[in-house]
Amino acid sequence: MKFPKPHTLKQIAKLIDTDYVGADNFPVLGMNEIHVVEPGDIVFVDHPKYYDKALQSAATIVLINKEVDCPEGKALLISDDPFRDFNKLTTHFKPFKSSNVSIANDAKIGEGTIIQPNSFIGNNVTIGKNCVIHSNVSIYDHSVIGDNVTIHAGTVLGASAFYYKKRPEGYDQLLSGGRVVIEDNVDIGAACTIDKGVTGDTTIKEGTKIDNQVQIGHDTVIGKKCLIASQVGIAGCVIVEDEVTIWGQVGITSGITIGEKTIISAKAGVSKSLEGGKHYFGIPADDFRSKYKEIASIRKIPEILEKLKDL
């Protein structure tokens, strides 16, 4: 998430009331999670396990809960609670803005686009040409929809990321300031849910077709010309490369990559990255041939046990 205009380290420190290490005028251009940071971004870290990863990342400003040596060319914001202060920045730069109309006044709707009754189009939403938005669709603030997109009834684009920190008093949500971006020629079925990025974009690329009742988590990127069947659940920060086919009721864990032209059979459970160009199924998902050999071996176990008894 880039700020509307550049800020200085001193200005940001004042916003969240923290000490800092670095020049007063050190440039701050935005804030992002560690997997999408760029120079000029703030990244937060609040666990020793991830200190080095954050300090060595592309981010040039690190919001951290310990005084450490500042890497050359970077700056630090020293906070007793980086999670809380990251939320403060999200609230400041991307505050929630209520709406009292079905289609926000600043929404941009392209020529030939049809929006059926009872749909909600939020603030600063852009929808391209020749789209069809069916009834009871909710498109949250800042979402971007391309041309020739069809979205069926009951689908929600832009709900918050499922991202919480456990505290003694309960769970504290990391606020979402990102977007959902749907490229051209995408079809989205009924009752689907696509969460916005925490700071970046959840993206569905050109030509992808999504069936009913599919959940796609925050910051996930679905490639071009993918097919995703009903009741698939994809967690956050997943990369699905181009022309992947995912059949019904597949579950995919967070932070992994599904290679180009992969096929995943129904009911598979994907717990690690998958090499492209192969067919997978099972729990945990594995190469089609390897899985069938495994099943064949398992079926021989009763026969082997009987032979052992005879011995």
- Active-site residue numbers? 218
Question: How big is the chain by its Cα radius of gyration, in Å?
Answer: 23
The values of phi and psi at residue 121, to 5°, are -120, 115
- DSSP assignment of 7-60: EEHHHHHHHHT-EEES-TT-EEEEE--GGG--TTEEEEE-SGGGHHHHHTSS-S
Question: What CA–CA distance (Å, rounded) separates 127 from 39?
Answer: 30
Question: What CA–CA distance (Å, rounded) separates 7 from 25?
Answer: 8
How is the beta sheet containing 257-258 ordered, strand by strand? 108-109, 126-127, 144-145, 179-182, 201-204, 221-222, 239-240, 257-258
